[in-house]
A and B are shown apart, each in its own frame.
Chain A
Amino acid sequence: MKKINFILNGEKRQIYVEASDILLEVLRQKMGLTSPKCGCDNGDCGACTIILNGKSVRSCLIFAIEIDGMEILTVEGLSKNGMTPLQESLLTHNSFQCGYCAPGMILSATELLKVNPKPSVEEIKECIAGNLCRCTGYQPIIDAITDLTK
């Protein structure tokens, strides 16, 4: 067991982890955060996406021990002070169906909008191409993001 320190959704946290513990499992089971989902455990689906030091990453591919000293944002943190304009737009567009991909999708798009507030449709597609959604055909998600850039 090794002690790690990190910032989770704005709060300082300290926990003990094994060298082989996967970050996704630690977030879900030890930190009680359930918005990062497991869809494949293999880096293929993006359901486990979180923002680590400002960059979106797949938490199923990261060992918890690697995040010592880093900063993590999940959708729980994003929604702390109410929904962001992106979340509002996705809501009013009825963008999601089952919603399982939503947390990962929202974090990928959040990262994009931060660095590029007026992305083109192609840039939006590129950005969310790592987040699989089986329900929506993606268009309603793309529309909600595009609407924000107008």
Chain B
Amino acid sequence: MENYKYIGQSVQKIDGKEKVTGAALYTDDLEFGPDLLYAEIVESTHAHAFIKNIDTSRAEEIPDVLAVVTGKDFPFKFGLYMKDRFIFAQDRVRFYGEQVAAVIARTPKAAKLGAKNIRVNYQPIDAVIKQLDSIKEDAELLHPDLENYVHVPWFFPKDKTNIAHHRKIRKGDMDKAFSEADHIFEEQYEVPRYSHCAIEPHAAVAKFDLSGRLTVWASSQSPHTQRHIFAEALSFMGIRHNDVRVIAPHVGGGFGSKAGVTMEIIAAAIATKYPGHPIKIIWNREREFFNTYQRPGVITKLKMGVKNDGTITALKHELFWDAGAYVEYAANVVNAVGLSAMGPYKVDNVQIDSYCIYTNLPPTGPYRGFGYSEFLFGLESLITQVAHKLNIDPVKIRRINAIKEGDTLAYGAHMNPNGLHQCIDKVAKEIEWDKKESSPHKNKVIGKGFSLFWKAPAMPPNASSACFLKFNEDASINILVSGMDIGQGYLTVMAQIAGEILSINPNKIRVENPDTDRNPYEWQTVASHITWSCGNAVKNAALNAKNQILELVARCKYLPIDTLFLEDEKVKCTTKANFELDLKDFIITGLQMEDGTFKGGPIIASGTFMPQFTSTKANPETGQGGHPNVHYTVGAAALKLEIDTETGKMKILKAVEAIDGGKILNPSLAKGQIIGGLLQGISTVLYEDMRFDHRGKMLNPNFTDYKIPTALDIPDEIVPILVEVAQPDGPFGARGIGEHPMIPAAPMIANAIEDALGIRIKSMPITAEKLCLAILNSSKTNINNK
């Protein structure tokens, strides 16, 4: 094991002090002066309708209202992976709450009053609310023009249907595998939509100045991707990428909701219609629920062939995604799952069909876990059911089938080094899997549930990161990167990586959230790839700086470069014990030679990273032939659940989660991800329950009716376990863990319920009410059966 100074240490967050003193500024905290204008949007009151006309005249007469903008002003599409969205609805609206127009005014009050006074005349069309209805022959088409939509080459839309993408995997011989299986099990599961619920709502301020320069301040996970999409969407005005500047202050939680582009494009676009003033748009909590992204819902149908000894021989997995009105981002969730719905198992015969289906509900998109929580609910439930039917222990059946390094993935490439089996062993031990437990309370029972999980970053094959590194006079460093610290501790970890290589304490390294004018390119802060990808860019920049320093010293001091090394802000020499040069004495000013001249100059370095082995070029009918994913992060989790059989109320007595993050760069931050992520996952099972009416209107877009956990709702105990099987191409062997902790929550709770009560619940959420009804029903059937 290498001896590291800063890597692997629980370094304090470099932005921690800002956050505990109230100094941290988020988008809505920035000061824009008395010239600031406000915008309010007009929302669709139908889930599906043609817009007959929009009457803006009354709004325009309201004092302090300056301009009204509608779809007519921006008649073109945008989107990340598929251009299927408009800045404002054009001839039709496709979900309840969709933006139809915006009012720009001097005060928020005037903007709101203006929005209220815009009359939109609609002609309703049949709304398609359920995804299985949407794929019926006679279903109303949401996007009749789908065949003309621009999209990435790895999507396969079905013309004249509501299917925006169909990802297929065909591996092995399914017929043979099923005929040779000793048992075949078939089940169906359902996972509804969820909301991210970052506590900071979306916020954007945009200014199109009189010289034609567009600046957007936004709460964002994707400043460069936003710049790219804004520049593309506004290119008809002659705007180039470097005319657009995105500045991203602190972000009050993202979880995927602030990735890509949603409401920010409204700010960017309307600013061009009223030049010279900053214009602010803040989403209220309601809109945060129904007009950013939601997590897509899914109905999954599974068929599994199994040998008597528990070996899985075949897996057929069909996934019908309720992706909503626009799928420019969600179609890639569907794609990612299509590639990985085999789960973390070795299965030789696999058939996956993942369908991205348009519905007249809010657009869906990336949400921590990127579809893996959704499909693993079914898969990890089914494996447990299979174990019970075959009388094999649920942990044992997982050990038998769990994937290992080198095993073939569903798309034909091979599994990366990983510690899945270690994770299983450690979790089983910590939760005392073999020990049956009963509650001392009458009416209460205890069950245990187990689940594996895995996830790969889902990205374009050439998603890249870049870093600038510059020294200051005192040998402190500023690092410029364009990932976002959305709370995960990314900035701190980047400082640790550079600090390790340059032997400088991370507390002397400043890394801040970006400004696209100053900071180099980054694709997005999503996919749990930022530690791995941007970490490699920072590592490369630091190595480059180190090389410049040592090369300069070697040249000026006539020493062989391979005898020089960095230690505690000094250059030292392996062959000369007394030799040491303080970085601060020459890092900017250079080294003085005997003749009085200086050599060197300010040390500045750069580094980039892009995976060079990935490809989405595959056979569209089988999914074989490409290498779409860079690697998978794996893990195992288990919990001990206490159930009140009279009320259905559940309490988690203990939860254990082991994750293989490769080399863990900062254990305190990694554990923070596990504890926070696990609760977010638990919340989707026990508390969050999104409701729509039959017209597609969300009924509970607020924290009173859509519950997320408080401090009183947390498990009694969470034990995070870090397993470290190095990722060969990761910085110091690291791979990402940000999304993964929440993924196993739902199946392990469903599995614990079955363990305790023999009741299998196949749809989420599993609220106390739902469980209580299931208990009542099962006791009725039990009585009837007697």
Chain A positions near chain B (C-beta within 8 angstroms): 28, 32, 34-35, 37-42, 44-45, 47, 74-76, 78-79, 83, 87, 90-94, 96-103, 106, 124-126, 128-142
Residue among A79, A102, A129 with the most chain B CB within 10 A? A102
Cβ-based interface call for B486 (8 A): yes
A83 contact set on B, CB distance < 8 A: 17, 20-21
The stretch among B75-83, B567-575, B704-712 that forms the contact with chain A is B704-712
B20 contacts which of A74, A87, A137 (Cβ < 8 Å)?
A87
Instruction: List the B residue with the shortest CB-CB distance to A107.
Output: B22
From residue 528 to 557 of chain B, which have CB atoms closer than 8 A to chain A?
none
What 3 A-B pairs are tightest by C-beta distance, nearest first? A97-B487, A100-B252, A35-B22
Interchain CA distance A76-B23 in the complex, whole Å = 8
Instruction: List the A residue with the shortest CB-CB distance to B253.
Output: A98
Cβ-based interface call for B201 (8 A): yes
A131 contact set on B, CB distance < 8 A: 711
With contact pairs A42-B285, A135-B676, A137-B679 given, residues A98 and B22 touching in the complex (Cβ less than 8 Å):
no
**26 intermolecular pairs with C-beta atoms under 8 Å apart:** A28-B28, A28-B29, A34-B29, A37-B28, A90-B20, A91-B13, A94-B13, A96-B19, A98-B198, A98-B252, A98-B254, A99-B24, A100-B26, A102-B20, A102-B24, A125-B711, A125-B714, A131-B711, A132-B199, A134-B196, A134-B255, A134-B680, A136-B676, A137-B679, A138-B679, A138-B709
Interchain CA distance A99-B487 in the complex, whole Å = 7
B711, A87: Cβ atoms under 8 Å? no
A106, B20: Cβ atoms under 8 Å? yes
Instruction: List the B residue with the shortest CB-CB distance to A89.
Output: B20
How many Å from the CB of A100 to the closest CB on chain B?
3
- On chain B, the number of residues with a Cβ less than 8 Å from chain A's Cβ atoms is 56
How many Å from the CB of A88 to the closest CB on chain B?
8
B672, A136: Cβ atoms under 8 Å? yes
B704, A42: Cβ atoms under 8 Å? yes
A142 contact set on B, CB distance < 8 A: 711
B24 contact set on A, CB distance < 8 A: 99, 102
With contact pairs A128-B711, A129-B711, A129-B712 given, residues A97 and B22 touching in the complex (Cβ less than 8 Å):
no
How many Å from the CB of A109 to the closest CB on chain B?
11
B28, A38: Cβ atoms under 8 Å? yes
A34 contact set on B, CB distance < 8 A: 22, 25-26, 28-29
B678 contact set on A, CB distance < 8 A: 137
Cβ-based interface call for B668 (8 A): yes
A135 contact set on B, CB distance < 8 A: 253, 487, 676
A137, B22: Cβ atoms under 8 Å? no
Instruction: List the A residue with the shortest CB-CB distance to B31.
Output: A32
B676 contact set on A, CB distance < 8 A: 97, 135-137
Question: B118-141 CB contact bits vs A (8 Å, 1 = yes)?
Answer: 000000000000000000000000
Cβ-based interface call for B251 (8 A): yes
A137 contact set on B, CB distance < 8 A: 675-680, 714, 718
Cβ-based interface call for B18 (8 A): yes
B285, A99: Cβ atoms under 8 Å? no
Cβ-based interface call for B764 (8 A): no
How many Å from the CB of A144 to the closest CB on chain B?
10
B702, A40: Cβ atoms under 8 Å? yes
B669 contact set on A, CB distance < 8 A: 94
B702 contacts which of A42, A47, A98, A128 (Cβ < 8 Å)?
A42
Cβ-based interface call for B242 (8 A): no
A37, B252: Cβ atoms under 8 Å? yes
Question: B19-63 CB contact bits vs A (8 Å, 1 = yes)?
Answer: 111111110110100000000000000000000000000000000
With contact pairs A40-B703, A139-B714 given, residues A133 and B284 touching in the complex (Cβ less than 8 Å):
no
Cβ-based interface call for B296 (8 A): no
Instruction: List the A residue with the shortest CB-CB distance to B671.
Output: A140
A79, B22: Cβ atoms under 8 Å? yes
B709 contact set on A, CB distance < 8 A: 138
From residue 507 to 545 of chain B, which have CB atoms closer than 8 A to chain A?
none
With contact pairs A98-B200, A99-B487, A125-B711 given, residues A74 and B22 touching in the complex (Cβ less than 8 Å):
yes
Interchain CA distance A99-B712 in the complex, whole Å = 20
B19 contact set on A, CB distance < 8 A: 96, 99, 102
Cβ-based interface call for B12 (8 A): yes
A75 contacts which of B22, B197, B255, B679 (Cβ < 8 Å)?
B22
B22, A140: Cβ atoms under 8 Å? no
B12, A132: Cβ atoms under 8 Å? no
Instruction: List the B residue with the shortest CB-CB distance to A141.
Output: B711
B12, A94: Cβ atoms under 8 Å? yes
How many Å from the CB of A18 to the closest CB on chain B?
10
Instruction: List the A residue with the shortest CB-CB distance to B13.
Output: A94
How many Å from the CB of B535 to the closest CB on chain A?
18
Interchain CA distance A21-B28 in the complex, whole Å = 18
A134, B284: Cβ atoms under 8 Å? no
With contact pairs A102-B19, A133-B199, A137-B679 given, residues A94 and B668 touching in the complex (Cβ less than 8 Å):
yes
B22, A76: Cβ atoms under 8 Å? yes
B162 contact set on A, CB distance < 8 A: none
How many Å from the CB of B530 to the closest CB on chain A?
14
How many Å from the CB of A63 to the closest CB on chain B?
15
How many Å from the CB of B231 to the closest CB on chain A?
28
Interchain CA distance A129-B680 in the complex, whole Å = 16
B199 contact set on A, CB distance < 8 A: 37, 39, 45, 47, 98, 100-101, 132-134
From residue 284 to 326 of chain B, which have CB atoms closer than 8 A to chain A?
284-285
Interchain CA distance A45-B200 in the complex, whole Å = 10
A97, B675: Cβ atoms under 8 Å? no
Cβ-based interface call for B488 (8 A): yes
How many Å from the CB of B666 to the closest CB on chain A?
8
A79, B21: Cβ atoms under 8 Å? yes
Cβ-based interface call for B476 (8 A): no
A38 contact set on B, CB distance < 8 A: 28, 201, 282
